[in-house]
Structure 1
Amino acid sequence: MSEAAARRAPWVAGALVAAALVVVIVTTTPWHLIDVPKPDAAADFTSAEIDRQQRFRQELLPWSTTSWVLSVLVPLAIGFSPLGRRLYDVLRIGRWYLAVPVLVAGLGLLTSLVTLPTDAFAEQVTRDYGLSTESWGLWLRDRAVNWLLMSAALIAIALGLIALARKWRTWWWAPAAIAGAVLVLGVSFAYPVLVEPRFNEFASMAPGPQRDEFLQLAREDGVPVKDVLVADASKRTTALNAYVSGFGSTRRLVVYDTLLKDASPAQVRLVVAHELGHAAEDDVLHGTLIGTLGAAFAVVLLKLVLGARMADPRRTALLLALVVVGTTLSSPVQNLVSRRIEARADHHSLRLTNDAKTFVEMQRALSVRNISGLEPSRWRYWMFASHPTPPERIAMGRAWGSEQGDPVPPLVRR
């Protein structure tokens, strides 16, 4: 192949992958489910509940936002300056494939240490408001495990990219894009059995009427669920939650022990119906497909930005900085898709249970218990909100109830 064709190839491939990514997002994301009225927090939350949520966020957000800013700025400041290459040279490790893991893990550790104080202050706020129950030892242990897991993932990515670039100076991006897509697929499949047990213990729900009801609900929904797992979330939090992860043989329906203990059976049933909606729509697989295309596109972008310089291990810090830029810039799109997916699962739970009143009450109860943000700022909504706000979810429940001839009145008398 001519040199000109080799230069054009990543541009063409990038355009094709980007087009495929846009098509998948546009065609598979549920953009409209039901006409929803404008959310009104005051209709369903008392002044005291709204004030408490606002106080909580006013105390928490300065610390959590500062921590997020530092987690972005530290790798950017190192990667986009000569400091990144100097740090590699300071290691004085002759073998690049030994130096790169040390540098990646070291930069991750540095970022964790820089954000440690602000994260600790944020954790203290959640303790003051009764959300966190974990000991400081467990909190530090979780941070250490998270650092190890992230380091392992980034080391694998850096070593793979550099090795391919050193072997094929011009065409390294092609096998790297394929490998990146396969890696995302593998991680999504293995996450429930490799990562989740590092943070929680899981046990099958004890036999009884509630477990039988959940399995029966799954059968009625046409969702193959062999078991319902209970996570020991109470050792870390008082928040109520449930989730679905994995796909195929690793798919699992997990409920927090706090949910089973503190929510009413009807509310738990609605939460489970929501998670069954994710399973019925193969939402994890849908997200994985977007992730595989996104990973392939990211590798092509790295080729266009770094070219043959990808083979230089002294630019490892720059690679990490570019990863941070990519994940930060893609967050609004990821959250937009996630919010629509979550809204579809809410809609699914309403159709499955036909209980708009309990749905609205449940969303209110979860929000009060979890001190969820009712009206986040626009920039925080786009950057961090993976779920609709509680007033948005309540508005959907109320709209669905009205469509079914079962309107739900405001929960707060004015």
Structure 2
Amino acid sequence: MAKKWGIVALLLFGLYVIFMYMYIFHIGGGSIPQALKGTAADPAMFMSERELNLSGEYSQIRNFLFFVVTPLEWLVYLFVLLMGLSRWFEKVATSQTKWTLLQNAAYLFLLSLFLYLVLFPIDYYRYALSKKYGISTQDFSSWMRDGVIDFWVNFGMMVIIVSVLYWLIKKSTKRWWLYAWLLTIPFSIFVMFIQPVVIDPLYNDFYPLKNKELEEKILTLAEQANIPSEHVYEVNMAEKTNALNAYVTGVGSNSRIVLWDTTLNRLTDNEILFIMAHEMGHYVEKHIYFGMAGYLLMTLVGLWITAKLMTWMIARYGRVLNIKKINDIRSLPLFLLITSVLLFASSPISNYYSRYQETRADEYAIALTGQNEAAVTAFQKLTKAGLSEVNPPLLVKLFRYSHPTMLERIDKVAEKEGQKK
């Protein structure tokens, strides 16, 4: 039965890959509407022919990888169960110590290491692709360092999450999903609180904005928006990427405004102020809280569905999956498989809401600064720096885009300024 499942899974995955290849590279479309050709939103107006070609190639490859890698991870989880690897990881972990926490840590280390090694070639290809197209400036040793930090940060958090999760499952096999969800609330807030001061500095150096004149302008803008903020930070991203970015992160006393040094080096003050006003719009309209509420709601539904599916699948196919009981740590790959599928399936909904929030933030930034022209040029420079696809195919937009497309953003801002033509 396990062999049959494996063959069917491989065949379905192969057919899916063929379909996505045809869609991304031949069917999906994504061309510029005739009505927008020659306008500020048309990439041909602000990108060279070489940049347009590179953008098209790079976007297609990245989109294809996105749609293929996620189901590939599901396939890996399935084979870890079918081949008895999860059972073997559990056996090794439990034979080393009697302490449950250490057993969980040992199991997670073996599973995490296996997944890291299996998926490493794809991660490296993504890195090499970014280097090839001039997006990444990071050398291999630095990239590996970030990868190792990622591994241990995720491992540490997973030890805590999984240990609590399986303790709850052992205490209540029927309502563990509800108790897990209740604990998700304080845990998520705690992670958001420590992110800017504990986790982010592991990857990059953060320091107060050196350009005090620009900092004063940003803080004045924040004051106009009634946003409490004392400092603006910059981060040294030029050694890793040519892309541009700025964001507001953290909650409470740890909230901060952050600008990549690439953004500071390549955008004008007015363009930076528009981007900052956009981020402030998220704060003013309380998007972080609405986003958190939506995340918690979807988590509640997701955990409930996961609990039902895990119980049903173990009862019916437990022998094939090498799982005896739901509270066995060896069932973790099944939990990860189901939650990953649900997260992928729900991404069009979360992305749609996120795009709405981003549109609102753009509108707020225009109202606050009145810098329509700076907004247009900022979007154009962001597109050029990241070789972004301004008008992606529908499936790509639904599953990948948490922001409106650059075509939509530029067109909307330019239309208000009267510079569409």
- Counterparts of 1:128 and 1:313, CA distance in 2: 41
What SS does the corresponding residue of 1:57 show, helix, strand or coil? helix
**Rounded Cα–Cα distance in structure 2 between residues aligned with 1:240 and 1:225:** 22
CA distance, structure 2, for counterparts of residue 176 and residue 58 of structure 1 = 39
Q: Report the Cα distance in structure 1 between the residues aligned to 2:175 and 2:290, rounded to whole angstroms.
A: 29
Displacement of 1:40: 3.4
Which residue identity is paired with 1:389? T
2:86 to 77, 81, 84: 84
The aligned counterpart of 1:17 is none
SS at match of 1:234: coil
Contact preservation (8 Å) 1:181, 1:293 = no
Contact 2:310 2:334 in 1 (8 A): no
Go from structure 1 to structure 2 and tell me whether the alpha carbon gap of 1:368 and 1:174 turns closer, same or farther (over 3 Å shift): closer
Residue 129 of structure 1: which of 128, 133, 136 is its match?
A: 133
Aligned to 1:16: none
Give 1:105 shift. Answer: 2.8
1:397: how far off?
0.4
Conserved in 2, the CA contact under 8 Å of 1:79 and 1:318?
yes
Where does residue 367 of structure 1 map in the other structure?
383
- Contact 2:177–2:307 (CA<8 Å) still a contact in 1? yes
**Is the Cα–Cα contact under 8 Å of residues 271 and 374 in structure 2 kept in the other structure?**
yes
Could you say which residue in structure 2 is the equivalent of 1:354?
Answer: 370
CA contact (8 A) 1:56 1:371 kept: yes
Aligned to 1:152: 156
Kept after mapping to 2: 8 A contact 1:181/1:292: yes
Change (3 A) 1:194 1:284: farther
* 2:53 paired residue number: 51
- Indicate conservation of the 8 Å contact 1:244/1:275, yes or no: yes
Give distance in 1, aligned partners of 2:165 and 2:35. 47
The 1:92–1:224 alpha-carbon spacing in structure 2 relative to 1, beyond 3 Å, is closer
Match of 1:385 among 398, 401, 404: 401
* 2:234 is the alignment partner of 1:221: no
Could you tell me how far 1:138 is from its partner in structure 2? 0.9
| Alpha carbons 2:134, 2:242 under 8 Å: kept | yes
Of 283, 287, 293, the residue aligned with 1:289 is 293
Shift of 1:64: 5.3
Secondary structure of the 1:254 match is: strand
- Provide the rounded CA distance (Å) in 1 between the counterparts of 2:284 and 2:84: 50
Task: Look up the match of 1:40.
Answer: 36
In structure 2, which of residues 254, 270, 278 is the aligned counterpart of residue 266 of structure 1?
270
Q: 2:145 aligns with which of 122, 134, 141?
A: 141
Superposition deviation, residue 137 in structure 1:
0.7
CA contact (8 A) 2:93 2:104 kept: no
TM-score under structure 2 normalisation? 0.80
Aligned partner (choices 193, 198, 202) of residue 202 of structure 2: 198
Correspondence 1:108 to 2:112: yes
Report SS of the residue matched to 1:243. strand
Amino acid at match of 1:52: L
Please say if 1:185 is aligned against 2:153.
Answer: no
Alpha-carbon spacing, 1:248–1:103, altered in 2? closer, same or farther (3 Å) = same
- Contact 1:64/1:118 (CA < 8 Å) preserved in 2? no
* Higher deviation after alignment, 287-296 or 391-400: 287-296
CA contact (8 A) 1:56 1:129 kept: yes
**Higher relative contact order (CA closer than 8 Å, sequence separation 6+):** 1
Normalized against structure 1, the TM-score is what? 0.81
CA distance in 2, matches of 1:148, 1:312: 24
Q: 1:325-347: CA deviations, max 9, x gaps?
A: 23222222222221111111111
Corresponding residue of 2:11: none
Q: State how many pairs are aligned.
A: 369
Q: Tell me the distance in 1 between the aligned counterparts of 2:36 and 2:83.
A: 47
Q: Secondary structure at the match of 2:238?
A: helix
Please give the root-mean-square deviation of Cα atoms over the aligned residues, in Å: 2.5
2:239 aligns with 235
Q: Which residue of 2 aligns with 1:71?
A: 73
Q: What's 1:408 paired with? A: 419
Q: 1:61 to 1:299 in 2, by over 3 A?
A: closer
Percentage of pairs with the same residue? 26
State which of 96, 99, 105 in structure 1 corresponds to 2:103: 99
Say whether the 8 Å CA contact 1:41–1:374 is kept in structure 2: no
Partner Cα separation in structure 2 for residue 83 and residue 208 of structure 1: 56
SS where residue 43 of structure 2 aligns?
coil
CA 1:320 to 1:68, structure 2 compared with 1: closer, same or farther past 3 Å? closer
Task: After TM superposition, give the deviation of residue 145 of structure 1 in Å.
Answer: 1.4
1:79/1:329 Cα in 2 relative to 1: closer, same or farther (>3 Å)?
A: farther
Secondary structure in structure 1 of the residue aligned to 2:170: helix
Q: CA deviation at 1:223?
A: 1.4
CA distance in structure 1 between the partners assigned to 2:372 and 2:378 by the alignment = 10
Give the deviation of 1:63 after TM superposition.
4.8
